[in-house]
Amino acid sequence: MQWLQHLPRHCLFLLACLAAWTSAVSQDEPVANFFGKHNGTSGHTNNWAVLVCASRYWFNYRHMANALGMYRTVKRLGIPDSNIILMLADDVACNARNKFPGSVYAKSGRHLDLYGGNIEVDYRGYEVTVENFIRLLTGRVDPSVPRSKRLLTDDRSNIFVYMTGHGGNEFLKFQDNEEISAFDIADAFEQMWQKKRYNEIFFMIDTCQANTMYSQFYSPNILATGSSEIGENSYSHENDNDVGVSVIDSYTHFVLEFMEGINKTSQVSMQDLFSSYDPVKIRSHPGVRSDLFQRPLEGALVTDFFGGVSQAEIFPVTEEDADTALQYITRVSFPDHVVHPDPVSPQACHDQGVNTTRSNATALTPEKDNIMLDVRWKDIRKWTSIAIVGFLVGWVSFVR
Amino acid sequence: MHWGGALFTLCLSASLAASSTNNVPSAISGERYNEDLFIRPLLGWQNLLEDVLRDSESSGQHYTLFPLTLGQILEEYSIAELHLTLNSGKWDYDHWGYPDDPSVGTGAELWAWMADGPSSTIDERWTGLRNALAGLFCASLGSLDMRRTSSPSTVFPISFSPSTPHALRYANLPSENVCTENLTPFVKLLPCKSHAGLATLLNPQRIFDADWHGLSIHLRSTEKGTELKLGVQAVFDPVRLSGGRRRDWSFRLLFDRMAGSSVVRVQVPDGESHALSPTFVADDSAAAVYNLITQVPLDVSMSWPYEHTFQYTRVHQSRLVPLSIQRTLRGSSQIHVGYFENLPALVTLWMHTMETKVDGVKRDDLISNVTYHPHHVLANGQKSPSTFQATLTIPAASTLHLSMEVSRAFLKYTEHPPDAMRGWDLPPAILFPVCDPTMGICDMRSTSADVRGRMYTPSLLIDLPTPDFSMPYNVIIFTCTLITLIFGSIFNLLTRSWVIVRVED
């Protein structure tokens, strides 16, 4: 009866294995899979962008064009207007000096209008001040400030902060009237970290001696890049003879050209962006600061900061499951007493609502199967553990 | 003096509820939507365009055609009537006559009638309203604070008879820019945005190229509910757009787009050898009416085929309005008009120096009912504006000079804007209709007033004494250099000793 003597030990071992298996396949796993599968290890759920042009006057047209070029890029890659804070210190599109009213161009030849017909500038003119910028970042705004002028980020937000204007060694000029220093920005970012207002920040700055502006950061998860070293100027790229002024800065021009090759599904990494810097073409030495950034740059995607990408999985669906899913949706969201939405929308306004309901249907069905399987395994594990414990207790008591 | 172009009045009016096949929403929500585009020639070659989009809503909480954001703002701050205009340019009454929408003052103008209460709550709600509208329309309306706010209830009377008392707040910011970022949220208030209807014509590159352009939002409470009127007015100049040669215009030239639906009315100039295409149906007011439901897409064009090149004509003094604010009167009888100024505390008016002169002769009897509130310091340290209101009687065919001495304020250096050298804008003065006091009982809304609607003067630019902003830096540098030289010299004199050092061979 050797095996009977060893039975308790075997049972205990089996119990330990079951316990380990249970803890491994726990509730956290689907959640971690959802965040980790497609984002690499970024862990962000939403994207924000803060684009600041800090210079006023017509001859600083290129700074406005810099910020608008970035605005167009982040919009194209998926960040909605509600998540973009655009600060322009002067109005060049409808300026009396602008030969092309309502338009801002970033290249001579004027092929692409950056202003377009759909733009929202949140802080304009005299509202672009150092105080407003720091209040925006830290969230200490007056209660009367409207929602579109607030940075409503949480601890899962990736923020892209872009600043351009005239600057120098550890300062940036706002409207030729006041300055913000690198220490101010570093402290604002630390306040954001303490208040859990960001997951990761990507800070890009295009001014003279720009790399000094990120030298004072001390909060974690910040990746920073600038257009020129200390003692170096950043230069404008080209003039347009009809507009009459320089239309874009060199560093921003080459970054925007790189971004033109990126779309929403692109897997290009931040290291690729930084490797594309060519000091000869840009005519200054751009720099990168990544010591505060936890992830490797090859694993950080450009769309982690520039894009508003949301993860969705589409599973193949069978016909009967689709029907039951649609009935389920109809029963829940259109109770009888609610008026059907206005008839204007589907035909006249080219609404895309129909497509979303279909994709909702496909997403619902496979989850039901997965849930059933999980429930069965949990039951089996539970009852097996109880049976083993009961057997052990019984055996011990009867032997004694 | 080159004047060219036609004044396009774009009033968007279309009855969507009537033309829709599903009658359920109009029965339940009681909302209607109209669009109207009206084009009127001015001076023979300029075009005024007025585009009015009208929503109305029943008193329920359903928002289908009426924009939800504005409805929530109205409820939150208990607003009965709200008017916001964003204009750019100077309206030329002499040559263009009366606009269809009278609010043509330069910059941003906001006035609202709110349910009455203690003045602190009214001011709080006014602040909340300004900031909510600033966020909604991407305009810097947050700076319309108590330094620019006043309450002139005779100039802006409430348009209905309220059962509860209401209070007025009015503010004006003449230096506000209007650009595409104001047009984008404006268009988003429409039920179909810019995809359908006359809003497809709103091309920002063309609208903001016009000689004068303005956006307006008018909200009124009527007995049927709330009426929202969104309007775009613009004065186009086809002669300039075509390079100075022809005054023909078409939708393609003016907007670079075609109209999608609704009704377009074009006022036909009389007695001219012009050609209007496509074929139209004339209505009773000698305007061509196009029903866009049947003709889509529509490109209305008017051309002068027998005219080779347009020649500018000498402009005759037309009799479009009875009063010109450039101090020339062309009426045949005397005119009573109210005059209202709302000036921020940058200037101080000295009432004892006020003089009224006609042709060099002092006539103090021509000014009456003077109300003057000078600026005073408010609880938060800011200065309220000074408001001046008077009734002027202007004799027939004469020029009335109203002059007053002003002194300019001396601001602290922190109060100057970043571009202090440009100066400050003074808001336009408003001439508003008053009834003739000799004619007995006065009804403000009757046609017995001599001026029809409000008239706005141009805004002014004033130069305030500006400090030398680089002075503190220069003083610090200079003083520190001097102190260093003095201290360094004295320190060396006191502590330096000369020692002879023997050098070994």
pLDDT of res. B494: 94
Mean of pLDDT values over A294-314:
84
Work out whether strand B7-10 and strand B46-57 pair parallel, antiparallel, or are unpaired.
Answer: parallel
Higher pLDDT, B33 or A302: A302
Q: Catalytic residue at A208?
A: yes
Q: Which of A53, A56, A122, A344 to mutate to test the interface with B (most CBs of B within 10 A)?
A: A344
CB A319 within 8 A of CB A288: no
Q: Does an H or E element contain B123, and which?
A: helix B119-137
* A94/B28 touch (CB, cutoff 8 Å), yes or no: no
B166–chain A nearest CA distance, Å: 23
Residue type present at position A257: E
pLDDT of res. A333: 41
| Out of B28, B135, B419, closest to residue A149 by CB | B135
pLDDT of res. B379: 87
Q: Does an H or E element contain B394, and which?
A: strand B386-394
- State the Cα angle at B229 between B224 and B232, rounded to 5°: 170
Residue of A nearest to B414 (CA): A177
Q: Hey, how many other C-beta atoms are within 10 angstroms of the C-beta on B438?
A: 7
How far is B296 from A192, CA to CA, in rounded Å?
54
Question: Among all chains, which residue has been given the structure tokens 């009366």?
Answer: B98
Tokens of A53: 């042009």
pLDDT of res. A55: 94
**pLDDT at residue A382 above 60?**
yes
Q: Which of A261, A288, A262 is nearest to A277 (CA)?
A: A288
How far is B292 from B294, CA to CA, in rounded Å?
5
pLDDT of res. A76: 93
Give the range with max mean pLDDT: A41-50, A362-371, B5-14, B62-71: A41-50
Q: What is the dihedral of CA A152, A293, A87, A254, to 10 degrees?
A: -140
What phi-psi label fits residue B243: left (phi over 0), alpha (psi between -120 and 50 degrees) or beta?
A: left
Across A31-35, A181-185, B351-355, least confident range: A31-35
pLDDT-flagged residues of chain B (< 70): 1-31, 43-62, 244-249, 252-254, 256-264, 267-333, 436-451
* B135/A146 touch (CB, cutoff 8 Å), yes or no: yes
In total, the C-beta contacts within 8 angstroms joining chain A to chain B are 114
Distances, alpha carbon A21 to alpha carbons A82, A262, A334, A378, A382, in Å: 44, 43, 43, 11, 11
pLDDT in tens, A189-225: 999 999 999 999 999 999 999 999 999 999 999 999 9
pLDDT of res. B220: 86
CB B324 within 8 A of CB B457: no
B317 in contact with chain A, both atoms CB, cutoff 8 A: no
pLDDT of res. A26: 55
Q: What is the mean pLDDT of chain A?
A: 83
Coil, strand or helix: which one is A59? helix
Helices H, strands E: what count in chain A?
Answer: 12, 12
pLDDT in tens, A77-129: 999 999 999 999 999 999 999 999 999 999 888 889 999 889 999 999 999 99
pLDDT of res. B200: 76
A100 in contact with chain B, both atoms CB, cutoff 8 A: yes
Q: Which of B42, B111, B122, B40 is nearest to B82 (CA)?
A: B111
Distances, alpha carbon A397 to alpha carbons A15, A392, A393, B202, in Å: 19, 9, 6, 89
A103–chain B nearest CA distance, Å: 7
pLDDT in tens, A137-174: 999 999 989 999 999 999 999 999 999 999 999 999 99
Q: Report ipTM (2 d.p.).
A: 0.80
B89 in contact with chain A, both atoms CB, cutoff 8 A: no
pLDDT of res. A205: 96
CB contact residues (below 8 A), chain B span 25-54, against chain A: 25, 28-29
pLDDT of res. B12: 35
How far is A52 from A169, CA to CA, in rounded Å?
19
Q: Which of A236, A107, A260 is nearest to A166 (CA)?
A: A236
| Out of B128, B138, B179, closest to residue A93 by CB | B179
Buried b (16+ CB within 10 A) or exposed e, A331-356: eeeeeeeeeeebbbeeebbeeeeeee
pLDDT of res. B2: 34
Q: Which of B106, B97, B78, B90 is nearest to B6 (CA)?
A: B97
**pLDDT at residue A15 above 80?**
no
A146 in contact with chain B, both atoms CB, cutoff 8 A: yes
End-to-end CA distance of chain A: 17
Q: Which of A112, A121, A142, A342 to mutate to test the interface with B (most CBs of B within 10 A)?
A: A342
B209–chain A nearest CA distance, Å: 6
pLDDT of res. A108: 85
